[in-house]
Structure 1
Amino acid sequence: MTSKKHQKQTLRQRIAHALTDRKILHFRYDAHLRQQVYKRLNALQKLLINRISAIGIEALPAKKLDKLLTELQTEIAKTYQETTAYTQDELSGFLSLEAAKISQLYNDEIGFDLFNDVPKERIKAIKNVAVIEGQPLEAWWNKQRADLAFKFEGIIRSGVAEGKQNGQLATEVRELMSVSRRTAETLVITAVAKVADTAHEALRDANLDILQGEEHLSTLDMRTSTVCQVRDGKRWDLDKKPIGHNIPYKRPPLHPRCRSILQLVTKSWEELGVQGMQEIPTSTRASMNGQVDERVNYESWLNSKTAEEKEQILGKGKADLWQRGVITFSDMLDQSGRALTLRELDELSNIPEAIRAIRRTHWSDEFKAKTESIYYAFAKEGIIIDYHGLSRFGDRLAKTGLSLEEAIEFVKNNKPNYIDSRNGRFVIFDEVLKVAVIQSNKDGQIISFFKKGKIEGKDEWIKI
């Protein structure tokens, strides 16, 4: 996969774009949670309507009506208790995952391990303390339960008093449940954002010695929220004091469905007292010396992506539809149809160790991008290239005269026909194409791919 992510970008911009990519994955995860909450609320709606339809409440005596409503209130409470327990458990796992991934994200963009991981004890201590506007998640679910229960009882009692038929009551209950689903959806989206921010805050607290402060990043809120637009690009120091403005410090989410992020800002190399600067990747070294770069916004974020990357991140064709004015910006970001479970999010977030190793090398950004592209092209077909062979892979492949696609097909369609007696490695050798591939006998990874005219005695290859 080719990438433009390192071209003419400062470290701050690279991190901002990586955080924005990560935010899209959060949207896909909250889509999964919303689906699970919908199932529970849809089942509750069906139960409520079936009960009031089956019993014929328009002619129900007062005592029996009271008894029925008590039973249905219990069902409502049960559904919300289950929903609360489910979302709390999911978000607890999400916090642990996010704390690990956010640390990895910063270090991968920097090119070496500058950030410490969040201590496990800290994660354990904050697992169930995600607070939205001063209230824990459980309190918000309880409020939604109470609102639904109160309004449901009002519909039934007023309906009986007014002589409404069961069909009319069922319609009103459906409308009420539709509102409850939208309210629950907003809570889930906001809760995921809050837990992600909690992980980010924990990373900040674990790395205060290397940070200048925090910067508000509204890449994905620039068209929808005035409060986020005002804060975009503003910085605060580690004491939460404004830097160059008078807007008070506040952590996201700043409003329901808020997409903003507080990005960590590192100290300059001089402030960090880093030794051996020549050993640090050039792209990182040049972008951590305090200069101010242009603001990161949704357009610069999108423009940093290839067409392939846009489809991978947003979904097929979405970026193109938005840029042509066919769909809104919010529609482009909507990931409801691409839900990810927590396990899938973890798997999707795992950057291969070979790629992480590439990003920490002193290679040029262009060579890194080329090497990553080769790695992912093979990996897409289930062929993994050993990291140590990647540095020379592109040049050696070019000398074989095969295109990247032809090289992949060569490996897919040929089995090892020799073994190197010196180390036990497998060898695929084609006398016609004069191409040899060395493969690990331990994990099957491709170690080398090169031009070879013939087998010589010094090779010590044994025919299989």
Structure 2
Amino acid sequence: MIDPLLDHTVRHQVNMTQYGNYVLAKMIRILNLSDADLIGALNAALEDMDADSFKVQRLDKLLASVREVNTQAYAALYGGMTDELAAYVEYEGQFQYDLYKHVVPVTFSIASVVPEQVYAAAMAQPMQGRLLKDWAANLSASRLQRVKDTIAVGYTQGKTTGDIVREIRGTRALNYADGLLDTSRREVDAVVRTALSHTAQITRKRFTEENDDILGDEMWVSTLDGRTSPECRARDHKLYSKIEHKPVGHDLPWRSGPGRIHWCCRSSSIALLKGQKTLYGSRAAAGGPVDANLTYADWFKRQSAEVQDHVIGAARGDLYRAGKFDVKDFTNDKGRMASLKELRERDASAFAQ
């Protein structure tokens, strides 16, 4: 039998990824619709510009219409994103309620969260160092700056206006994926997925606070595959106290928590019932289901040398298989992959052999 807390949480993460794809498609559609207007404004602005008359000051004036189109596009993107997040908070809150209603004895009452309050909290808390509205403004400014830089470099290199515009937009043959504007789409991808994870974690935190009387420690749940980050590999299945998120039986800090600790984080958390310390049944993993209490370190140990080298690098893989380091040792105190220099400093003899 599969532990319902883990089973439903993992299934929910899969659904969340698919929902992220849906939201991302909507946001990209907004940018795509603005691209034609932006390129039109760009062509008009550069109509009388050439290498001899090019000046940065003049370019700034000519790009006023381009700037306006760009600003409107990202304002629409931010509006669409906040609408989706507001709806998502309600869905996530209901999922948490239904999940624990399913596993908690009927003699206990379960409190639900107020979506409006959770949404306000999510918007008011920084996501990777900035509020969502600031990330939207930063994406807008970055795209405009890249356009300006491409124009400036293009004219100094003697390129024609057509060449420069094509470099910015890309070519139809490659569905414009080779253009400068495609960088903006990749940036939006990261922001959308991180914003959803950020909002989900804020919702889980508020739900835990509302049900403090029946919930105990929180368990960090990472994805068991080769794409999981060093920070999440090290924390998989680690327990943390609820609300304060202090490490329980280990020394790895919670930091921003699963879903928020880094860009596009796929980790989640499970608030265990009071007194519960382990799970039962199985959990999903690359290659098929495994025991529910199998940690990332245990899963990694079972993988082939090829998979291990893909995840941590060949040099680290050799050290791991030689018994010099455990998986968690490859993460430094900042939560990032430790460099080989750092590993040398930890164990100078490891590389001497």
TM-score normalised by the chain length of structure 1 = 0.54
Report whether the alignment pairs 1:266 with 2:273.
yes
Once the two structures are overlaid, the 10-residue window that deviates more, 108-117 or 195-204, is 108-117
Q: CA deviation at 1:107?
A: 1.6
Distance 1:121 1:193 in 2: 17
User: Residue 264 of structure 1: SS of its match in structure 2?
Assistant: strand
Distance 1:32 1:121 in 2: 23
What letter is aligned with 1:71? S
- Equivalent residue, structure 2, for 1:144: 139
User: Residue 261 of structure 2: SS of its match in structure 1?
Assistant: coil
- Equivalent residue, structure 2, for 1:158: 153
Report whether the alignment pairs 1:298 with 2:284.
yes
CA contact (8 A) 1:48 1:72 kept: yes
Distance 2:226 2:125 in 1: 25
Report whether the alignment pairs 1:70 with 2:64.
yes
CA contact (8 A) 1:58 1:163 kept: no
Q: CA deviation at 1:23?
A: 1.2
CA contact (8 A) 1:216 1:235 kept: yes
Runs (4 or more) in structure 1 with deviation over 2 Å come to 43-68, 109-115, 119-131, 157-163, 219-224, 290-304
The match for 1:45 among 35, 45, 66 is 35
The match for 1:256 among 259, 263, 288 is 263
Once the two structures are overlaid, the 10-residue window that deviates more, 39-48 or 251-260, is 39-48
The alignment covers a number of residue pairs equal to 273
Once the two structures are overlaid, the 10-residue window that deviates more, 42-51 or 80-89, is 42-51
Report whether the alignment pairs 1:102 with 2:107.
no
Distance 1:38 1:124 in 2: 23
Report whether the alignment pairs 1:240 with 2:245.
yes
Spell out the pairing of 1:313-462 with structure 2 (5 A cutoff): none
- Equivalent residue, structure 1, for 2:212: 208
CA contact (8 A) 1:131 1:194 kept: no
What letter is aligned with 2:146? K
Distance 1:263 1:301 in 2: 23
Summarize deviations over 1:281-305 as a string: whole Å, max 9, x none.
xxxxxxxxx463469643399549x
CA contact (8 A) 2:113 2:207 kept: yes
Q: CA deviation at 1:24?
A: 1.4
Distance 2:88 2:287 in 1: 25
Distance 2:130 2:265 in 1: 17
Distance 1:213 1:293 in 2: 12
Q: CA deviation at 1:148?
A: 1.0
What letter is aligned with 2:272? V
Task: Evaluate the alpha carbon distance shift between residue 256 and residue 291 of structure 1 in structure 2; reply closer, same or farther with a 3 A threshold.
Answer: closer
Which 5+ residue runs of structure 2 have no aligned equivalent?
170-178, 291-353
- Equivalent residue, structure 2, for 1:189: 193
- Equivalent residue, structure 2, for 1:21: 11
Summarize deviations over 1:164-206 as a string: whole Å, max 9, x none.
1133212321322111100111110111111111111110110
- Equivalent residue, structure 1, for 2:221: 217
Q: Identity of counterpart residues, as a percentage?
A: 25
The match for 2:111 among 116, 120, 140 is 116
Summarize deviations over 1:316-373 as a string: whole Å, max 9, x none.
xxxxxxxxxxxxxxxxxxxxxxxxxxxxxxxxxxxxxxxxxxxxxxxxxxxxxxxxxx
Q: CA deviation at 1:28?
A: 1.7
TM-score normalised by the chain length of structure 2 = 0.69
- Equivalent residue, structure 1, for 2:47: 56
CA contact (8 A) 2:122 2:198 kept: no
Q: CA deviation at 1:241?
A: 1.8
RMSD: 2.7
What letter is aligned with 1:240? H
Q: CA deviation at 1:86?
A: 1.5
What letter is aligned with 1:81? A
The match for 1:226 among 223, 226, 230 is 230
CA contact (8 A) 2:220 2:268 kept: yes
What letter is aligned with 2:269? L
Q: CA deviation at 1:57?
A: 4.6
Which 5+ residue runs of structure 1 have no aligned equivalent?
1-6, 269-289, 305-464
Task: Evaluate the alpha carbon distance shift between residue 222 and residue 300 of structure 1 in structure 2; reply closer, same or farther with a 3 A threshold.
Answer: closer
Task: Evaluate the alpha carbon distance shift between residue 154 and residue 125 of structure 1 in structure 2; reply closer, same or farther with a 3 A threshold.
Answer: closer
- Equivalent residue, structure 1, for 2:203: 199
CA contact (8 A) 1:218 1:232 kept: yes
Larger Rg: 1
Distance 2:264 2:9 in 1: 17
User: Residue 208 of structure 1: SS of its match in structure 2?
Assistant: coil
Distance 1:141 1:36 in 2: 15
Task: Evaluate the alpha carbon distance shift between residue 107 and residue 302 of structure 1 in structure 2; reply closer, same or farther with a 3 A threshold.
Answer: farther
